[in-house]
Structure formats: structure tokens, C-alpha cells
Structure 1
Amino acid sequence: MKPWWVSLGMALLVLSASAQEFPRRDEVYSARVSRVFDGDTVWVKPLAGGPYRKLRLEGIDAPEICQSGGKASRDVLAQRVLNQVVEVRVRAQDDYGRGVARIVHQGDDVAAWMVSAGQAWSYGWRRSQGPFAEEETFARAQKRGVFKEAAPELPRDFRKRHGPCPMPPRG
């Protein structure tokens, strides 16, 4: 007969393995955008109640707030969604504790809209050009937003060279 802790360990192992086979369901809710931090980060208040939540738009990388085009990117996003009701689909958490979310406003994917407006890059990795490659190609061809510059610096390259932007004063 096996000791009780061996059986418990096996049961936990099976539960852990089965949990990995069935990914967590996306969290979906309606919310009001209460703050736009930069071109890819917002704070929302769920309409059903609960705490404010900090979200990062999935699939894009907007200029850092202290980078060329950063304030314009933030302002364009704020003009579109600040104080507006949006549909939120949180898909994951990032390294900073933000929910990584698809946000829809009036039927438009806000991230795709930001890239089309030239206010963000489609977030590519490895050999992928990211989910909004077509929107980025369009914005570049039209010389919109950050793509007015001949060679705009990717935000990740900017962060590598300068680190994070200092936090702006609250007030």
C-alpha cells in the first residue's frame, strides 16, 4: 500500500496536467475607460462593479510617453476612448501585472485602429509581423502618425537604449 502523500501527489499532478490542457477562458466585460496612460495602456472601470483595472492593448506597441510621438499617440487614443464604454476581452497578464486585452469600441478593434492611424506598431515577434501587419503597411504608405518620420524608432529599441520613461507627476 502506498503512503497517503504519494496518492495525493499523483492526484495533484493529474489535476495540474489537465488544467494545462484546458486553457483559462478569456475574461469578457463592458467597462468605461477612466484614464489613458499612453498609446497602448488604459485604466477601465467595469460596468458591473469592482476595482479599476489597468490594461494593455493586445498586439501593438505604441511609442513610450517620453519618446517622439508618445504624447500624440496617448492623445489620439484618449480622444477615441476616454470616458467611453468599451468591450474588454482580457486574454493574459503581462510582466507588469496589466491585463493584456482586446478592446472594442463602437465595433472597432481599438488596437487595429491605433496602428491604422499610425500611432502604434503591430507587435511582431520572431519572424511574425504581428496581428496588425496590414494596418501598419497602410499607415506607413500613408505616412500617418509616427510613420511620418523616415525611420521611426521601435518602442522596444527605445526602451533598450533609455529604459522606462519617468513617471509623470499626478495632479
Structure 2
Amino acid sequence: MTAWRRFMLALALSVCGASAAQATETWLGWVSWVMDGDTVLLVREGQSKPVKLRIEGIDAPEICQVGGAQARDAMIRLALRKHVQVQALGQDSYGRQIGRLSLDGVDLGAEMVRSGMAWAYRFRTGTGPYASAQRLAQQQKLGVFAQTQKPMSPSVFRNFHGPCHGAGL
């Protein structure tokens, strides 16, 4: 590889790295409300207006779907009224913040998948960062995977039935 190509490659990587760094932001807050197993309302430290956060990498059952109330209750036990760290990754088409949520260094999205309360999911690609945790939860028949019939993933459920709460959640 020529010196010029190495230079251009290094330049491209540094620009991409700078863009990725700007796309994420980490902040602290507390969970004021749990809407369902993968969406919470947070109050950012030093602010009073809540922010809706869709937890990246997971898809919990819809609240009107089998397992939906249990998934919401699991997230309530994990996060409600607790101080958390948010790694904000952008916004979705509904205006919700998308990000990772952690409590004392524990990734709450990973915990939801590990306990069988959510699927590992990444928008448009299907599998998410917690695919191996999901396979283990399925093998151990945890949470929604304890059903005698194969559970319907939330994305398939929404295709057949639409969202439980209507547009905007």
C-alpha cells in the first residue's frame, strides 16, 4: 500500500470515528416511568422534563401481547425510580431517544433478554447484540420462552395486530 493510500485510509477512519463519537452521548438520570419492557421515561440529571427512551438492542412483547405485562413488570423491578446511566444513540421515527440503559454497570437491555423478557433485536437487521443471551433464554425456557407454544416476536405481532397503544410509542 502506498503512503498516499495509507494516509487516505487513516483520514477516512479518523473522520468515521469522529462521527461515531459525536453520535453517542452518555448522561445520568432516573427512571420516572416504565411504559413497557423496552421503553421508559427518564428525567435527565439537572432537568425536569422527562425523555422517552427506547432501549436499543431489544424488543419486548407489546403490552397487549402475551408476556407484555410481565416484561413491563420486569423492567419496573430493574429500573423504576432508580438512577441510571444512558448511552444515547440517536432518535427513532417516533421521536424517542434510542440508547443503552445501565444501572451500576449492569446493562438492563441485556438483563431483559437474559431473563427471557425481551428478544435480541436490531431494527431492520433482526438480530441484535444480545442474540446469544436470547438463545440461552430460549434453551432454558425463561420468561416468554416458557410458553408451550412458540412465542410470537413483537415485530411479527405488530405486523398482524398493530401496536397496542397506537402510533407514537
TM-score computed with the length of structure 2 as normaliser: 0.82
Q: 1:164 offset after TM fit, Å?
A: 1.2
Question: Which one has the largest radius of gyration?
Answer: 1
Q: Distance in 1 between matches of 2:53 and 2:125?
A: 26
Change in CA separation of 1:34 and 1:126 when aligned onto 2, cut-off 3 Å: closer
1:37 maps to which residue? 35
* Alignment partner of 1:92 out of 78, 90, 93: 90
What count of residue pairs does the alignment treat as equivalent? 149
2:106 maps to which residue? 108
Greater mean alpha carbon deviation, residues 97-106 or residues 116-125: 116-125
Q: 1:128 offset after TM fit, Å?
A: 6.0
Q: Distance in 1 between matches of 2:108 and 2:137?
A: 15
Q: Distance in 2 between matches of 1:29 and 1:103?
A: 10
Partner amino acid, structure 2, of 1:22: S
- Listed as ranges, the gaps of 5+ residues in structure 1 are 1-17
Q: Distance in 2 between matches of 1:125 and 1:45?
A: 25
Q: Distance in 1 between matches of 2:37 and 2:111?
A: 11
* Alignment partner of 1:81 out of 75, 79, 82: 79
1:3 maps to which residue? none
1:165 maps to which residue? 164
> What percentage of aligned pairs have identical amino acids?
42
- Listed as ranges, the gaps of 5+ residues in structure 2 are 1-14
1:127-142 correspondence to structure 2 within 5 Å: 129-142=127-140
| C-alpha contact 2:144 2:151 (8 A) present in aligned 1 | yes
Partner amino acid, structure 2, of 1:116: R
1:34-73 correspondence to structure 2 within 5 Å: 34-73=32-71
Q: Distance in 2 between matches of 1:63 and 1:106?
A: 25
Q: 1:125 offset after TM fit, Å?
A: 6.0
Q: 1:42 offset after TM fit, Å?
A: 0.1
Q: Distance in 1 between matches of 2:28 and 2:125?
A: 34
TM-score computed with the length of structure 1 as normaliser: 0.81
Q: Deviations over 1:108-163 (max 9, x none)?
A: 11000000000000005666632001110111111100001230001011001111
Query: CA RMSD for the aligned pairs?
Result: 2.0
2:154 maps to which residue? 155
Partner amino acid, structure 1, of 2:63: I
Change in CA separation of 1:51 and 1:88 when aligned onto 2, cut-off 3 Å: same
Q: Distance in 2 between matches of 1:93 and 1:83?
A: 23
Partner amino acid, structure 1, of 2:119: W
